[in-house]
Amino acid sequence: MLGRVRAWALAAVVLVVAGCASTLGRTVDQRTTQGPTAEQIFLFRVAEQNGREPTFDERRHWDQALEQRIATYLHTHQDRANALDVSTFRFTRRVVVGMDKEQVLILLGPPVTTTTDAGQMQKVARGHWPAIEGNATEAWAYPLGYVLYFAGPRLVDITQYIAPD
């Protein structure tokens, strides 16, 4: 039994490594309705700041704090607590088109940069600008190449661009 568990664990590691390697050297340039998860951004920021993955206690503390912020938001925004995308916000913890700025800040924290300048938004949207232009009034940039576009308080579009090193 233990041998079978180890074999499955090894297979899982091989698949993850292969998946990561398959994106190396490739440009990612996409327009999507689903952005990063809170955990992806958390792990990236900890690795960037500390040069390592978070410890078990750091993860647990972050997870508890995030769950509390989500619960507080849903308690004070009863209309959002019954929305169709509440499971994405509460359980998957992924940013999706239709969320409001407060939900994005709860999940991802503050953006790296923001802009309301149409020229800057066009530059970061690249070839996706024709579809975004006229809908977005503000853009927030996050790690991992994500840019979130807002019309007022609502998230209306997401792009991701990663160029190979």
The answer as to whether 98 is a domain residue is yes
114-144 burial by CB neighbour count: b if 16+ within 10 A, else e? ebeeeeebbebbeebbeebeeebebbbbbbe
**How many structural domains compose the chain?**
1
| Predicted TM-score (pTM) of this structure | 0.82
Taking phi over 0 as left and psi of -120 to 50 as alpha, with beta for the rest, 87 belongs to: alpha
Place of tokens 């809170």: 38
DSSP state of 54: P
Q: Which two tokens stand for residue 74?
A: 């849903």
pLDDT in tens, 114-133: 999 999 999 999 999 999 99
Is 78 within a domain?
Answer: yes
User: What pLDDT digit, counting tens, does each position of 99-117 carry?
Assistant: 999 999 999 999 999 999 9
What's residue 84's pLDDT? 74
> For residue 80, what are the domain limits?
37-110
Judge whether 5 lies within some domain: no
Is 62 a member of any domain? yes
Low-confidence ranges of the chain (pLDDT < 70): 1-24
